[in-house]
Structure 1
């Protein structure tokens, strides 16, 4: 993973190799699981913005206890 930035219950990730994506996203989701449990009102949304660039964030549109993935248009 090249970079990871954490702000306001959102982690921004940038990967230089496709081999890093799965493990990196799993680590980011794991990091936010505790915050989601403390919040109790939202789940986790993983968004692919472009190849290699993702955000993992708490999101109230995702039901508590779930993780969803989307590709930004």
Structure 2
């Protein structure tokens, strides 16, 4: 089972299959990047909440054009 939930400019990815994890995260980062290119002021933060749960979002703390990872568990 996998879940992809979108809210404004963030996407939550929950997967149970490791093979799909990378594909889902890549797709989420691409989607956020496409939505944010017009503003050119925030980067992307990928936060890991569990082994299978991540949030991909725009962040004021990440420079535009950059993607940072954060582990909150």
Q: Same fold (TM over 0.5)?
A: yes
Q: Is the 8 A contact 1:36 1:64 kept in 2?
A: no
Q: Is the 8 Å Cα contact of residues 42 and 59 (structure 1) preserved in structure 2?
A: yes
Q: Does 1:25 align with 2:25?
A: yes
Compute the RMSD of aligned alpha carbons.
1.1
> Is there any run of 5+ residues in structure 2 with no aligned partner, and where?
none
Deviation at residue 18 of structure 1 after TM alignment: 1.3
Moved over 6 A (4+): none
What is the CA–CA distance in structure 2 between the aligned matches of 1:36 and 1:66, rounded to whole Å?
12
Q: Aligned partners of 1:62, 1:6: CA distance in 2, in Å?
A: 20
TM-aligned CA deviation for residue 34 of structure 1:
1.7
Secondary structure at the counterpart of residue 6 of structure 1? strand
TM-score by length of 2: 0.92
**Cα offset, 1:17, TM superposition:** 1.1
TM-score, reference length from structure 1: 0.92
SS in 1 for 2:41: coil
Give deviations 1:7-40, integer Å, cap 9, x for gaps.
0200011001111111110000000112221121
In proportion to residue count, which structure has more helix?
A: 1
